[in-house]
């Protein structure tokens, strides 16, 4: 298969290019090249989608994988490539849904946000999700055949957001650890390499339709136990002890959910619970497979340490966490 990856140098698009090249496919990556090199076995064609020179891309491909979030970029790519690439795999997001409260939603049951055009600043979740809706519509209308994949939280080595990365790093340090909400709180995540495998499968098989793609619903306590199992032996020696703090306590201390400064990643407010409980049985029936979270955690920690502080890890500082732990212990 001749595969065109619009990207190929950063996180998911790079994992897609690496997976396809490892299978022996002829892989072309169209990217600026500013984020790093392409995987071994892939070819880089320099292309800046903000000011693209499409003449640099010559030839035909069997499929394309596109991760763009700008409707203008997707429209431009379709203008220049739709007649040369018969199958389009577009990576969207579960942020396209207007309802994040309903549990176990699917593409067939959840309403979408209104599409957002090029002129809207994408600095809010609604604008980001609405822009992805517009991208999806363009692909489904204009590509010969297409597969739209809506991932949930993507994690693993190379993650530029640092959300999941907080937990392997923190649990490897051991000691008393502040955990959000309660162990039974549902979460979902997917290793970037497993998602990449699924996307390349979809390109090979010319799979069509719209699928949510993330891991199965798992309790946060089980997830953190798996993370601890994966990083055990990679810290100072003391096993981490989790102290589960109630949401009211966390809010009172201005702890933020999900990501950013003073946050506890993987925690969402109750009103957003549906975002981490999607019914992904259709994706698993179509061939999605996921590795143990312990493996993802171990590989993420190895990657973090190899980067020696050059990557983002979002979340609370250790001083902030200790202050809250001291307060929590006084009210237990």
Q: Report yes or no: 191 and 290 within 8 Å, Cβ to Cβ.
A: yes
Is residue 281 one of the residues assigned to a domain? no
Residue 201, pLDDT score: 98
Residues 175 and 137 both lie in one domain: no
Q: Residue 123: what pLDDT?
A: 60
Q: Are residues 235 and 195 in the same domain?
A: no
122 φ, ψ to 5°? Answer: -95, 60
Instruction: Return the structure tokens found at 2.
Output: 């001749």
Nearest to 38 by CA among 56, 62, 11, 64: 11
Determine the pLDDT at residue 121. 54
Task: Report the distance separating Cα 77 and Cα 300, nearest Å.
Answer: 33
Is 146 in the same domain as 38? yes
Q: Are residues 302 and 176 located together in one domain of the fold?
A: yes
Residues 302 and 249 in one domain: yes
The C-alpha angle with vertex 77 and arms to 14 and 68, in degrees rounded to 5, equals: 45
CATH number for the domain that contains residue 100: 3.40.50.720
Residue 253 lies in a domain: yes
Asked if 138 and 223 sit in the same domain, the reply is no
Indicate the pTM of the whole model: 0.96
Based on the structure, what is the number of domains in the chain?
2
pLDDT tens digits along 7-38: 999 999 999 999 999 999 999 999 998 888 99
Give the list of residues 6+ apart from residue 285 with CB closer than 8 angstroms, or none. Answer: none
Q: pLDDT averaged over the chain? A: 94
Structural domain contains residue 312: yes
- Of 193, 222, 216, nearest to 299 (Cα)? 193
Q: Give the span between the Cα atoms of 186 and 198, in whole angstroms.
A: 23
Does residue 161 sit within a domain?
no
Beta partners for residue 100, in sequence order = none
Q: In sequence order, what are the beta bridge partners of 31? A: 46
The residue written with tokens 């496919």 in the block is 25
What residue numbers bound the domain in which 243 lies? Answer: 166-187+218-272+291-327
Burial of 195: CB neighbours in 10 Å, binned 0-12, 13-18, 19+: buried
| Cα end-to-end distance, the chain, whole Å | 59
In a domain, 332, yes or no: no
Confirm if 199 and 149 have CB atoms less than 8 A apart: yes
pLDDT of residue 74: 97
Domain assignment present for 106? yes
- Weakly modelled stretches of the chain, pLDDT under 70: 119-125, 237, 332
pLDDT at 233: 82
Shared-domain flag, residues 134 and 182: no
Residue 282 lies in a domain: no
Q: What is the DSSP string of 190-239?
A: EEHHHHHHHHHHHHHHT--EEEEE-PPPEEHHHHHHHHHHHHTTSSSSPP
CA proximity to 266, closest of 151, 185, 328, 320: 185
Same-domain status, 117 and 56: yes
* CA–CA dist 207, 186 (Å, integer): 29
Q: 123 and 108 in one domain?
A: yes
What are the structure tokens assigned to 189, written together? 């995540």
Say yes or no: 138 and 171 in one domain: no
At 241, give phi and psi (nearest 5°): -115, 120
Domain presence at residue 264: yes
Residues 264 and 303 in one domain: yes
């Amino acid at each position: 298969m001749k595969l065109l990856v619009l990207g190929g140098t950063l996180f998911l698009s790079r994992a897609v290019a690496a997976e396809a090249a490892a299978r022996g496919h002829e892989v072309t990556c169209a990217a600026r090249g500013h984020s790093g090199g392409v995987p071994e076995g892939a070819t880089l064609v320099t292309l800046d989608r903000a000011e693209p020179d499409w003449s640099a891309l010559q030839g035909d491909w069997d499929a394309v994988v596109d991760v763009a979030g700008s409707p203008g970029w997707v429209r431009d790519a379709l203008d220049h490539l739709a007649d040369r690439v018969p199958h389009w795999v577009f990576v969207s997001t579960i942020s396209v849904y207007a309802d994040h409260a309903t549990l176990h939603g699917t593409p067939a049951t959840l309403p979408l946000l209104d599409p957002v055009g090029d002129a809207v600043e994408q600095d809010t979740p609604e604008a980001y999700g609405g822009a992805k809706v517009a991208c999806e519509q363009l692909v489904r209308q204009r590509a010969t055949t297409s597969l739209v994949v809506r991932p949930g939280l993507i994690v693993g080595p190379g993650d530029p957001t640092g959300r999941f990365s907080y937990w392997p790093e923190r649990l490897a340090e051991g000691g008393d650890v502040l955990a959000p909400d309660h162990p039974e709180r549902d979460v979902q995540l997917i290793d970037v390499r497993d998602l990449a495998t699924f996307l390349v499968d979809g390109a090979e098989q010319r799979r069509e339709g719209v699928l949510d793609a993330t891991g199965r619903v798992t309790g946060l306590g089980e997830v953190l136990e798996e993370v601890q199992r994966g990083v055990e032996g990679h810290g100072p020696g003391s096993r981490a002890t989790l102290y589960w703090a109630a949401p009211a306590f966390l809010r009172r201390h201005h702890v933020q959910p999900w990501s950013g400064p003073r946050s506890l990643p993987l925690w969402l407010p109750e009103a957003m619970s549906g975002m981490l409980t999607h019914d992904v049985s259709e994706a698993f029936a179509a061939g999605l497979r996921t590795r143990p979270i312990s493996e993802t955690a171990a590989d993420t920690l190895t990657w973090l340490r190899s980067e020696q502080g050059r990557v983002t890890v979002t979340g609370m500082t250790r001083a902030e966490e200790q202050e809250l732990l001291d307060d929590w212990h006084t009210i237990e």
